Chain A
Amino acid sequence: MATTFFTRKPRELSYNPKRPVWKEKPSALYQTVKAVVLIVFSLSILTPILLVVSTSLADTEQLVKAGGFVLWPERPTLEAYATIFKGPMVLQSLGVSMLITAVGTILALFVTITMAYATSRPVLFGRPVILAVLFTLLFAPGLIPSFLMIRQLGLLDSLWSLILPGIFGAFNFVVMRSFFMNIPGELIESARIDGANDWQILWRIVMPLSKAVIAVVGLFYAVGFWNSFFNALLYINDHSKWPIQLLLRNFVVQGSGAADQLGITTTPPPQSIQMAVVVVALVPILMVYPFLQKHFAKGVITGAVKG
């Protein structure tokens, strides 16, 4: 047939078909260097995590034999976890962290979504005002004035001091707003003609269209609340209101007088107990990470590049 006459013989597929034809195959040296960099970087991240999880699960005998750390628990046991949950401190601080994360994320989403929607459509004042406000958010008011504000509001030693300062983040706001701005105005207009008010439009039209970005921003906030440590150091004295991160700092990073604070009588605490506390703080993040990862790259890029 005529077509076969003009069709070239298929090339030998000795090369990777995904590699563009113009791209030369990298030299062996270059490939080795690349592989080493990537593998070392990945291992440096995975090893500590594996070490901590394994050590928290290892039994005393193996720990003593290994001199403190194991990379793989031979006879995994949950003893360390049983011990830390015996005292009130870990449970309490987990409760505090969960509470501030849940309440904080809901409030943060409310404030961010309403603000982002209201500023995504031009209203009384326009873009210049909003850009000017965004620009000021690059700066920070400073530590001392923020502290004095919290004290003035009577929030010292209250869990609200851990929630309220975190319910609005400039970055999340920009991500959300740029997403809302890309929703076609025609959709919103037609809803308005059908008699919907702005709240109804936000609730029935805009939010269902933005589920993905709301999920990502919500997760960002949740991770932020879960991880927040410094606000607690500043504002909370009462041990029963410590979030898990502050407990972790005092118990693992500083390691002083920790056993009494945990209400545990074993001093000095064996390695596995410390590691169990680390794992308790780590696991929620590991659990939401797959969801985060699925969406964030897209969200972050649209927000960061266009914002």
Chain B
Amino acid sequence: MNSTTEQAPALPVARRVPATAGGNVATAGAKKRKRSKAPQQSFRSRLRRDKQMLLMMVPGVVFLLLFFYIPILGNVIAFQDYQPYLGIGDSLWVGWQNFVDLFGNPDFIHAFWNTLYLAAWQLVFLFPVPLVLALIVDSLVSTRVRKVFQSIAYLPHFLSWVLVIAFFQQMLGGAGFVNNLLRDWGMEPISFMTNPETFPVMVVVQMIWKDAGWAMIIFLAALASIDASLYEAAAADGAGRWRRMWHITLPGLRPVIVLLLILRIGDILSVGFEQFILQRDAVGAGAAEVLDTFTYYTGVVGGGWSSGAAAGLAKGVVSALLIYGANKLAHRFGEDGIFAKKLG
């Protein structure tokens, strides 16, 4: 086609050198090799060459603009006294006032600390579970047991939070299965689902139920990629089960653990939005109010658009800083992190 004629003939068309990208940028995945510069073409001829490819990007780009980038810009209403009938253009600018009000608002402060509190619970008690499960599954010799367990464990990931909470209510709710049994046995029913004090435990249990099996996949893949001859050699040298785990398995898993931790930390302030909104009525705002639910109830339900947006923006900025910081830290420890150093 027309594109080949303008190209250095030796280069496969599919690996056309992006003229803007200089000479040594890897084009496809991991293939990082130096390449001589392609003859520079005029912008217009490159445009003509890539016309159809660019056309293909249009739907995606339109989506990203409409539902991603423009809404990001819409966060400016956090600095306004936004009135729906005036719109962003005519609403009054109030500077940092919304943030000042927010940090003076005990409800927001409560939501903020509660978010951190629940996030800490999740980080400590949720994060290790898939790893432990993966180690157990990986140590299974029987492939059949393995397959059966995996099929069961992955399933809840595909159920909606509404279904998950419905299941938990039927099992553990006030009129649920377990409490019915307890009553039959003449014991006091336990309010698993409505007790604000045990709510963090409940949240972690629900998350384990829903996603621990699924989160196992990535650890299993990493475990499978560890060279088995390392284990064999270590065993021949007299290393027992635990020494092999400590000196081979865990170092082998380190990059994945670091990667997942960074992603987790960046996501930490989104402790689990649907999960909380579904249960806020049952356990009360004291236990289940987090930054996201605060944003929702203040902004969408209460009509405080600007304070809601300010709360959302504050959360977004802190999350971004957390991702950045965690990634920096990963680089400090010699890991790749989520994005390579040169981009970070």
Which A residues are closer than 8 A to B by beta carbons?
Answer: 16, 18-20, 22-24, 26, 34, 37-38, 41-42, 44-49, 51-52, 55, 67-69, 110-112, 114-115, 117-128, 131-133, 135-149, 151, 153, 164-165, 167-168, 173, 178, 181-182, 185-186, 188-189, 192-193, 195-199, 202, 223, 226-230, 233-234, 245-246, 248-249, 252-254, 275, 278, 281-282, 285, 289, 292-293, 296-297, 300-301, 304-306
Cβ of B103 < 8 Å from any Cβ of A? no
B64 and A168 contacting across the interface, CB-CB below 8 Å? yes
Q: Contacts of A140 on B, CB cut-off 8 Å? A: 270, 316
Q: How many positions in chain B have a CB within 8 Å of any CB in the partner chain?
A: 117
Measured CA separation A127–B29 after assembly (Å): 10
B163 and A144 contacting across the interface, CB-CB below 8 Å? no
Partner of B25, one of A128, A192, A202: A128
Cβ of B94 < 8 Å from any Cβ of A? no
Cβ of B253 < 8 Å from any Cβ of A? no
B71 and A253 contacting across the interface, CB-CB below 8 Å? no
B316 and A253 contacting across the interface, CB-CB below 8 Å? no
Partner of B160, one of A115, A135, A245: A245
Closest residue of B by beta carbon distance from A250 = B162
5 contacts between A and B (CB under 8 A): A19-B141, A26-B139, A55-B170, A164-B67, A285-B158
Cβ of B128 < 8 Å from any Cβ of A? no
* A117-B56 CB under 8 A given contacts A144-B309, A278-B166: yes
Q: Contacts of B29 on A, CB cut-off 8 Å? A: 178, 181-182, 306
Measured CA separation A19–B141 after assembly (Å): 6
Partner of B221, one of A34, A182, A305: A305
A-B contact count (CB 8 A): 313
Q: Which of A143, A167, A229, A297 has most B Cβ within 10 Å?
A: A143
B187-216: which residues lie under 8 A (CB-CB) from chain A? 209, 212-213
B180 and A68 contacting across the interface, CB-CB below 8 Å? yes
B158 and A292 contacting across the interface, CB-CB below 8 Å? yes
Closest residue of B by beta carbon distance from A198 = B52
B45-83: which residues lie under 8 A (CB-CB) from chain A? 46-47, 50, 52-54, 56-57, 59-61, 63-64, 66-75, 77
Measured CA separation A189–B155 after assembly (Å): 41
Which B residues are closer than 8 A to A by beta carbons?
Answer: 1, 3-4, 12-18, 20-21, 25-30, 46-47, 50, 52-54, 56-57, 59-61, 63-64, 66-75, 77, 84, 132-133, 136-137, 139-143, 145, 149, 151-156, 158-163, 165-171, 175-177, 180, 183-184, 209, 212-213, 217-218, 221, 228, 231-232, 235-236, 240-241, 266, 270, 273-274, 277-278, 281, 292, 295-296, 299-300, 305, 308-309, 312-313, 315-316, 319-320, 323, 338-339, 343
A41 and B133 contacting across the interface, CB-CB below 8 Å? yes
Q: Contacts of B139 on A, CB cut-off 8 Å? A: 26, 34
* A281-B163 CB under 8 A given contacts A149-B70, A182-B29: yes
B21 and A128 contacting across the interface, CB-CB below 8 Å? yes
Measured CA separation A173–B61 after assembly (Å): 13
B141 and A37 contacting across the interface, CB-CB below 8 Å? no
Chain B: minimal CB distance from A295 (Å): 12
Chain B: minimal CB distance from A276 (Å): 12
Grouping DSSP codes into helix (H, G, I), strand (E, B) and loop, the B interface class, with mixed when no group exceeds half, is helix
Q: Contacts of B28 on A, CB cut-off 8 Å? A: 120, 181-182, 185
B316 and A45 contacting across the interface, CB-CB below 8 Å? no
Q: Contacts of A195 on B, CB cut-off 8 Å? A: 1
Measured CA separation A217–B142 after assembly (Å): 30
* A38-B136 CB under 8 A given contacts A202-B56, A230-B273: yes
Q: Contacts of B270 on A, CB cut-off 8 Å? A: 140
B177 and A69 contacting across the interface, CB-CB below 8 Å? yes
Chain B: minimal CB distance from A14 (Å): 14
* A18-B142 CB under 8 A given contacts A138-B266, A147-B299: yes
Q: Contacts of B67 on A, CB cut-off 8 Å? A: 141, 146, 149, 164-165, 168
Q: Contacts of A51 on B, CB cut-off 8 Å? A: 170-171, 177
